[in-house]
Structure 1
């Protein structure tokens, strides 16, 4: 590209399993000063959703701009029962298009979109930061810890919590949370921020060429295990954390798998005190990452590139951490795991401190990145660019869907077909093997009462099912061959 290339740089920070409410204005008291600053300097999306609440599938959607049924990575690629271990190489990705059109694309941190194909197969230069947590791309972080004299396998953690009958002593369960005695500088979050700062410095010096850059920083947190050092480990007092509204879950009228999942995840016997201990570490993890984001943004400012760089922060999906009494994620399409944070700062384009309430998808970012770069969006994308929602000089309100569409296909416990359509007020979930769900989010934000058979919601149920059918048709969902007849038949039978 020419030295006169005026297209903006893009800095994309993706967290792993970060809840929407942690940085929401009306959310819990989590310290997210940097994310809040990003919102005050840019635009916060209050209705952003992942297309699927499982890591590999969501990340593949982000890369390809397609819903999971379009790219075929329906569950996690590292598991023994993975439907696909890698993306098919012939599916276009936004990063390859950027690289082909003059962007210098770099990547640090978590990958988890394939066992054999890495970021370097998709137009990125990989700068390290992965280890054996789902991705064995390199051992840079392990070597970093060895050099600092605190090898990863030789640290004595305290305040450990595990799933199982005795969460404070049963190491046979899943590792949930703990406090580490290491310094903040020895955390993976710090290391990934440092690698990202190095990338910004290289870009600003011209070492990577004269064209614009796209850098993607993928943090491993706040995904469990929620292991944090001081001051983050004791930053939030578990005794002062109140249960969320959804903790009153009774499972009455819900699909059977919801209650079964307590046993599957090993949290049947968890009391609120245990969840509060874990949630305090989760919040500490969020604040730790927020502080690393501050370091990154300060480096961008010092480089002189802030005014010509679009900064985007989002997450692949959320986390229950006790919501609905659940741990992690699964075949439960609640906002705890499907609603995600999204903030975009674009100097000179986005009105500082603005909020967008239009419903958008995580993988809409794939088309957005391409339009920002003045690159054509492939016809294969199911994504819709957010640029028209970002521009502060737009004279017309863009035509935009009034709902989002999501799906789930199962993870390590087996296949389980779900589809969801959500408007600002209502959510409808199609559960292939069990009872469907309908929630009035205005009257019941905790999603506790399933209204699928409520006679007063017959028209809502019918309308939401029609919306779902339209989404399935528009996205060539393979289940559209028979599910619409099932839904329309059910609407006639009930009420």
Structure 2
């Protein structure tokens, strides 16, 4: 059996056709969703890139694997090692666990070089860095290496092929003809509207409406405006983002076509994190623990398991996918994994593993959030100069863009959400593999003059 995992940077699910988006951004991804299962409430346990992907390879939350940011002590993976033989089996990496159960694991990614993420590059049967770029490589450049590998390995079976595309991450620089084709389709977003954009003009900080690029530099690409001053500017930027998704989707299809008959091939499509499109006045980046940053797509087509066109609405983490893959490969989930396998639910869409989720962001803001089916609470420990209140509560069914803080209006709900956060923190602190909270390490660093 072959397993192919497309990991697409900064991909919002609500900009994909299979999640209801009104522009043709993702025909290849949509076709896979029609053949498999779409997950509607799937979240990264930590954001952004470095914490999210370390969560996936370790099956552990950032509070337990030590990675909650990019750079510095809180970006170094905490892993128990054997003197000889690599990671202790209690915290084995997912790429090695799959190898232990008969799958060659092949990775195409420049991610370890971009973030000095040494552990991410270890344990694969084959590791391919497509070129010497560190995040600006295009899907075309990635596929040059991937398609060459597929052509050289025709007839090969029992492999896990991981492909990482960068393109939807800012800066949006898809080929201009692709931008023009996307611009021919009417805008498919109705928020933020003009009033909301006007209210964002005096928000300071990187990636805000008036400061879209650091140093207030002009846009380096015709696919993005210099600033977000009105809905025309918003549609300009959104079209740039959508064009990137369509460009990436085209390259997903190239790989699927090269693989040939997919009847015995599992296909997984997901992301490391999402992208803000005006939420809290942030445009085109990922600086906080908002819903739009942590909610990511997950599409799984698993032959003989996932019913065509099925969905799952249960709350799940990306660390749960790690455990699920190991179980599907015939292995046992390592003892020191936080993730819980939802393999049994792939046949029915009943994947309930959590009553609530807790996630964190530690690169720009320092925040932890609690998500229940109906509400999102965010506690901010460092706002990084943005306009985040110390505690915020949102009714996500009625306020998906988090525009109204209900913390003062709903004290009982706030108390319950705070209890969930305290309960979760306690659960982490008493685990046998607990370490000092790396988010506190980042906070203490920031207090040093």
TM over 0.5, shorter chain = yes
In the alignment, is residue 449 of structure 1 matched against residue 442 of structure 2? no
Aligned counterparts of 2:27 and 2:336: Cα–Cα separation in 1: 38
Superposed counterparts of 1:14-413, under 5 Å: 14-23=7-16, 24-77=18-71, 81=72, 83-84=74-75, 88=79, 90=87, 91-112=91-112, 114-115=115-116, 117=118, 120-133=121-134, 188-206=138-156, 212-237=158-183, 240-241=186-187, 244-246=190-192, 249=196, 260-261=205-206, 262=208, 266=213, 270-272=228-230, 273-300=232-259, 302=260, 304=261, 306-392=262-348, 397=350, 399-411=352-364
Range with bigger deviation, 241-250 or 426-435: 241-250
Alignment match, 2:371: 422
Checking the alignment, whether the CA contact within 8 Å between 2:198 and 2:229 is kept in structure 1 is no
Query: Residue 278 of structure 1: CA displacement?
Result: 2.1
Deviations for 1:284-332, whole angstroms, at most 9, x for unmatched residues? 11001111111111222x2x4x222211000000111444431344443
Q: Which secondary structure state, in structure 2, belongs to the residue aligned with residue 376 of structure 1?
A: coil
Q: Which secondary structure state, in structure 1, belongs to the residue aligned with residue 314 of structure 2?
A: coil
TM-score by length of structure 1 reads: 0.73
TM-score by length of structure 2 reads: 0.80
Checking the alignment, whether the CA contact within 8 Å between 1:249 and 1:448 is kept in structure 2 is no
Query: Residue 266 of structure 1: CA displacement?
Result: 4.2
Checking the alignment, whether the CA contact within 8 Å between 2:276 and 2:286 is kept in structure 1 is no
Alignment match, 2:446: none
Query: Residue 474 of structure 1: CA displacement?
Result: 2.8
Q: Which secondary structure state, in structure 2, belongs to the residue aligned with residue 333 of structure 1?
A: coil
Checking the alignment, whether the CA contact within 8 Å between 1:109 and 1:220 is kept in structure 2 is no
Aligned counterparts of 2:244 and 2:42: Cα–Cα separation in 1: 22
* Larger radius of gyration between Structure 1 and Structure 2: 1
Range with bigger deviation, 356-365 or 314-323: 314-323
Query: Residue 238 of structure 1: CA displacement?
Result: 8.3
The CA RMSD measured in Å over matched residues stands at 3.2
Checking the alignment, whether the CA contact within 8 Å between 2:77 and 2:119 is kept in structure 1 is no
Aligned counterparts of 1:63 and 1:228: Cα–Cα separation in 2: 29
Query: Residue 383 of structure 1: CA displacement?
Result: 0.7
Pair 1:313–1:258, CA change in 2 (3 A):
farther
Query: Residue 103 of structure 1: CA displacement?
Result: 1.5
Range with bigger deviation, 17-26 or 194-203: 194-203
Pair 1:258–1:66, CA change in 2 (3 A):
farther
Query: Residue 202 of structure 1: CA displacement?
Result: 4.1
Report how many residues are paired: 403
Checking the alignment, whether the CA contact within 8 Å between 1:11 and 1:310 is kept in structure 2 is yes
Range with bigger deviation, 419-428 or 124-133: 124-133
Query: Residue 406 of structure 1: CA displacement?
Result: 0.5
Query: Residue 410 of structure 1: CA displacement?
Result: 2.8
Gaps of 5+ in 2: 82-86, 217-226, 383-388, 441-449
Deviations for 1:437-484, whole angstroms, at most 9, x for unmatched residues? 100011212210011111xx222112222222232233337789xx9x
